[in-house]
Amino acid sequence: MSTLDTAAPGAHEEHHGPATGIGRWLFTTNHKDIGTLYLWFSLLMFLIGGVMALLIRSELFQPGLQLVEPGFFNQLTTMHGLIMVFGAVMPAFVGLANWMVPLMIGAPDMALPRMNNWSFWILPFAFAILVSTLFMDGGAPNFGWTFYAPLSTTYAPPSVTYFIFAIHIMGASSIMGAINIIATILNLRAPGMTMMKLPLFVWTWLITAFLLIAVMPVLAGVVTMMLMDIHFGTSFFNAAGGGDPVLFQHVFWFFGHPEVYIMILPAFGIVSQIIPTFSRKKLFGYASMVYATASIAILSFLVWAHHMFTVGLPLVGELFFMFATMLIAVPTGVKVFNWVATMYRGSLTFETPMLFAIAFVVLFTIGGFSGLMLAIAPVDFQYHDTYFVVAHFHYVLVPGAIFSIMAGVYYWLPKWTGHALNESMGKFHFWCSFIGVNITFFPMHFLGLAGMPRRIPDYALQFADFNMVATVGAFIFGFSQLLFVWNVIHCIRSRETVSAQVWEGAHGLEWEVPSPAPYHTHTTPPRVE
Amino acid sequence: MDAAQANRRLILRLLMASVLMFGFGFALVPLYDVFCKVTGLNGRITATGPVDAVAVDTARSVKVRLIAINNEGMPWAFGPTESLLRVNPGEMKQTAYRASNPTTRRMVAQAIPSVSPGEAAQYLHKINCFCFDSQALEGGGAIDMPLMFMIDTDLPESIHTITLSYTLFDISPDKTGTAENDTQEGGSPI
């Protein structure tokens, strides 16, 4: 409750700076410090997961087995997925929320600063456990990031137990983070900051946090069931004892589908902040954006079985999940329309964050369209478990979620550091990423339609050319991320200062505090209008 | 302080919601079973035990195909004594599956049934089935395991063939490696 006290007049008037040394980071309860920790952690995980992706692509450069053992290949695909989803994308969004939500709503800090420290500091332990499985007897988890039973129970390597505990810890971290964000947004808004004045990034995060609270416990439940099946003789997913492996898929995707929106709704929020700034117009259709986000969140609970069209669902079930899935295209279409309408007749400039945001709109829409194709139950029987699926979810996650995170970092980095970006290097990073990402993932559509299955270290000869192209693209994309690291470090160390507003068209409370944002901001709540 | 109280109340509610959702994950397990039972999906047979005799519909006959599958690593020889039956709806039919244990040790097995097409499951009454219990066999032993069933006279006209499949799982208590060591004594997994 100390945060609330600091808001009271007279208390802690002096702006004391951060503590010094490592203690600053270990014991910090400052939302900006914790946001920074989340973002660095996410960048580290992004690079580790990226190295795994490059190993995977190197093996797939040519048909045949040349670089890694097939067993290790499976471990790579599994760890790549887990690290990118739980280690790179989710913590990056939580980091951005930590930094920006209090600044945007005029709060002095998060509502629960100590829990905030905890929800970050258990994450490195979770991932240390997860990554350490690579060095264990029997190897790391090798059953895919979706860990379908009985592959992940009866046939799993012994390290699966470590995997389960790592997931438990990550889940606890996410739930704590979500509770904190909801409490901050609902209780710590500045006077006059009504719900329908909240910046869209805040809105999308509020809805995402509710999704997290609804589904992360289900994930914890499903891995607990696995743990019991493996060690305590239960038979949740074991047919011999009366269980059902298909049940695993139902429970997993009940978590898994809302999870994919957890990874994209904050991205919608970031893009909805950036596009109006560089179009020098207000966001088109603010209210419809809020309602569209909420409808996507609600619909996400009704579509999970579209991941399971081929398990033998009854016809009625297939039709229900097919139409429910297609329905999601409606609120998503509203969003894309609003972004385009915001740009329409705006005074556009194309700084680095805007380039990433526009690329997000275009490429995420491509990923959305392939998602619609996959939603069609009868044709999904052809696409299921092929590279078409890989192409689809990489299009929504890499130029979707990851591009939005990079856009957000480029957009807010001058506010965090007080220094200007190197625009030409930012644009160079953008174009390398944009070209690389398309060379990597676009050919995968063709591979999938031609029937190349996912999660295989070797493939038939007719897939050779497109795989080679994809690998070349992956290396372009992968190495161009070093430019991103360079840009971030350069901006931190640069001496070129920026104004409080940073970008000409930027509006909102976060642009009214000085750049760099002082260690304590909004200690006296600002008045909104 | 009002704000502190509001904070605490909200956080308690959110924590409760997380705990409830954790419980909901587990509640999905029985819910799934109930859903399958109500809708007859998943090829699960729900009608078991004795039935009242009804008039046999001799005008119609349904093909019943019997299939046996050994789960991975199960060494028993296992198969139906007759693989194709012609059954009139309402008629009580008795047949058997034969199993033999070629190993030298005592083993316990459990057969898990499945019916295809799934919508036929609710019209199939199993009066007695070896799948109700686990089956123990000494090394080198063999056994004929009875199966007695009746097809409901309400079976939709569109169904001409029903496939009854049994997958045999090794659930011997001394089995190494996997987790399921319970022998389901007297309990039916169905």
- Which residue of chain A is at minimal alpha-carbon distance from B4? A1
Closest alpha carbon to A360 in A392, A321, A397, A312: A397
A174 is catalytic: yes
CA distance B97 to B78: 7
Dihedrals phi, psi of A461, to nearest 5 degrees: -60, -30
Burial class (CB in 10 A: 0-12, 13-18, 19+), B98: middle
Query: Residues of A with CB below 8 A from B119's CB?
Result: 314
pLDDT (average), residues B47-72: 83
pLDDT for B179? 38
User: Is-catalytic flag, A383?
Assistant: no
Q: Do A182 and B19 touch (CB under 8 A)?
A: no
For B30, the 3-state DSSP assignment is helix
pLDDT computed for residue A3 by the predictor: 42
Cβ of B18 within 8 Å of Cβ of A254? The answer is no
Q: In this predicted structure, what is the pLDDT of residue A408? A: 97
Going from the C-alpha of A135 to that of each of A68, A142, A158, A162, A254, the distances in angstroms are 15, 13, 12, 12, 32
Sign of the torsion angle spanned by Cα atoms A357, A358, A359, A364:
positive
Which pLDDT does position B44 carry in this prediction?
Answer: 66
Q: Which of B25, B147, B107, B45 is nearest to A242 (CA)?
A: B45
Q: Which of A324, A302, A313 is nearest to A246 (CA)?
A: A313
Partner residue opposite A175 with nearest CB, options B18, B169, B170: B18
Q: CB–CB of A83/A49 below 8 Å?
A: yes
Are A438 and A473 in contact by the 8 Å Cβ rule? The answer is: yes
Our answer to whether residue A231 is catalytic in this structure is no
| Per-residue 3-state assignment (H helix, E strand, C coil) for A414-467 | HHHHCECCCHHHHHHHHHHHHHHHHHHHHHHHHHHHCCCECCCCCCCHHHHHHH
- Position B123 scores a pLDDT of 85
Q: Angle CA(A121)–CA(B11)–CA(A526) in degrees, nearest 5?
A: 85
CA distance A464 to A61: 8
Please report, for chain B, the start and end positions of each structural domain, with discontinuous segments joined by +.
Answer: 1-39, 44-170
Please list, in sequence order, all residues whose beta carbon lies within 8 angstroms of the beta carbon of residue A103, skipping any fewer than 6 positions away. A415, A509, A510, A513, A517, A521, A522
Cβ of A213 within 8 Å of Cβ of B179? The answer is no
A315-372 confidence digits (pLDDT tens): 888 999 999 999 999 999 999 999 999 999 999 999 999 999 999 999 999 999 999 9
- The predicted pLDDT at position B43 comes to 63
Nearest CA to A300 out of A323, A277, A328, A320 is that of A328
Q: For the purposes of burial, counting CB atoms within 10 Å of the CB of A58, is it exposed (0-12), middle (13-18) or buried (19 or more)? A: middle
Report the C-alpha gap between A23 and A35 in whole angstroms: 16
pTM for the model stands at 0.89
Domains and CATH numbers, chain A: 2-6+22-511 (1.20.210.10)
Let me know the angle formed at the C-alpha of A361 by A357 and A366, rounded to the nearest 5 degrees: 140
pLDDT for the residue numbered B186: 38
Residue with tokens 């369209």: A369
Beta bridge partners of A346: none
B84-115 tens-digit pLDDT: 999 898 888 899 999 999 988 889 988 888 88
Q: What's the mean per-residue pLDDT of chain B? A: 82
Judge whether A280 counts as a catalytic residue: no
pLDDT band at B177 (very low <50, low <70, confident <90, very high): very low
Which one-letter amino acid corresponds to residue A388? F
Adjacent-strand bridge partners of B149 = B93, B126
Answer CATH for B44-170 from 1.10.260.40, 3.40.50.300, 3.10.20.440, 2.60.370.10:
2.60.370.10
Does the beta-carbon distance from A240 to B182 stay under 8 Å?
no
Q: What is the DSSP secondary structure assignment for residue A400, as one 8-state letter?
A: I
Q: Single out the residue of A402, A370, A372, A376 nearest to residue A389, CA to CA.
A: A370
List CB contacts (< 8 A) between B17 and chain A: 213-214
User: Annotated catalytic, A465?
Assistant: no
Query: Which letter does DSSP use for residue A305 in this model?
Result: G
> Which pLDDT score is estimated for B154?
86
- The answer to whether the beta carbons of residues B142 and B99 sit under 8 Å apart is yes
The rounded distance, in Å, linking the Cα atoms of A64 and A259 is: 35
CB atoms within 10 A of CB B81: 13
Q: Mutation target for B interface from A151, A152, A160, A182: give the one with most B CBs within 10 A.
A: A182
pLDDT of residue A491: 95
Q: Residue range B138-144: average pLDDT?
A: 88
Helix/strand/coil for B147: strand
Nearest to A218 among B21, B169, B178 (CB): B21
Which residues of chain A, if any, have pLDDT below 70? 1-16
In one letter, which amino acid is A93?
F
Minimal CA separation from B125 to chain A, in Å = 19
Q: For residue A269, what are the contacts with CB-CB under 8 A and spacing of at least 6?
A: A199, A200, A201, A202, A203, A204, A205
Residue linked to tokens 């505090």: A513
How far apart (Å, rounded) are the C-alpha atoms in residues A37 and A232? Answer: 38
Contact criterion met (CB < 8 Å) for B184 and A242? yes
At B23 the pLDDT is 94
The active-site residue, picked from A57, A168, A335, A520, is A335
Residue B144: pLDDT over 80: yes
